Chains A and B, each alone.
Chain A
Amino acid sequence: TQLLEQSPQFLSIQEGENLTVYCNSSSVFSSLQWYRQEPGEGPVLLVTVVTGGEVKKLKRLTFQFGDARKDSSLHITAAQPGDTGLYLCAGPFAGGTSYGKLTFGQGTILTVHP
């Protein structure tokens, strides 16, 4: 079973602080995705990383895929209240009868206080 472990599970910070969320696995993934979910809505894709060591930036958000493709991180610089939400990492199962399916980490609930 391919598992994705996210940490921390909860993060409560003040506006302007920096933070990092981690997504770790003992398995190699061909790609990893990060989704953001707001209360009462479905998740929305932020980014997909596919190459080991890859770094992608989305405004104040920086995503990194580990060299061995077993882990990823999301770093937010100068967090704003609008960043509040549930952040989920996800990756595809590898082969066999699991081909084509996605597994999710348990999520990180981020609260940014004004």
Chain B
Amino acid sequence: NAGVTQTPKFQVLKTGQSMTLQCAQDMNHNSMYWYRQDPGMGLRLIYYSASEGTTDKGEVPNGYNVSRLNKREFSLRLESAAPSQTSVYFCASSEWGAHTGDEQYFGPGTRLTVT
């Protein structure tokens, strides 16, 4: 039982390059999330998926796209990376949405640097 897995763990991009961050969970959870973490700013929600086939914007969606490929997998794509997107990205999942008070389970993070 791996929980939430993320790939890659580290990535360096040049401005304008694109990449996809992969996330998978094996807990049969309905809801999945992508966050970014910057110093002094806690975690900010980028996108949220309440269930397979649905996605919704979070606080900071600009410059990102997501795909809920199936119940297990939720990917985050940067189409044209910018230095402002240098951050640590976390994927999380929960059985139901945050409104239920469910625990969110987090992956180990992807450390992205855009030069």
Q: Which residues of B contact A44 (CB under 8 A)?
A: 106
B40 sits at the interface (CB 8 A): yes
Bound together, the chains give a CA A107 to CA B99 distance in angstroms of 21
B31 sits at the interface (CB 8 A): yes
Q: Which residues of B contact A101 (CB under 8 A)?
A: 33, 45, 48, 56, 58, 97-98
A50 sits at the interface (CB 8 A): yes
Q: Which residues of A contact B106 (CB under 8 A)?
A: 42-44
Number of A-B contacts (CB under 8 A): 71
Which residues of B65-102 have CB atoms within 8 Å of chain A's CB atoms?
Answer: 90, 92, 96-99, 101
Q: Is the CB of A48 within 8 A of B103?
A: yes
CB of A38 to closest CB in B, whole Å: 11
Bound together, the chains give a CA A29 to CA B45 distance in angstroms of 17
Bound together, the chains give a CA A90 to CA B92 distance in angstroms of 14
Question: Which residues on B are within 8 Å of A, measured CB to CB?
Answer: 4, 31, 33, 35, 40-45, 48, 50, 56, 58-59, 90, 92, 96-99, 101, 103-104, 106-109
Q: List 17 A-B contacts (CB under 8 A).
A: A6-B42, A30-B101, A33-B101, A42-B92, A42-B106, A45-B104, A48-B101, A48-B103, A92-B99, A100-B96, A100-B97, A100-B99, A101-B48, A102-B33, A103-B59, A105-B42, A106-B42
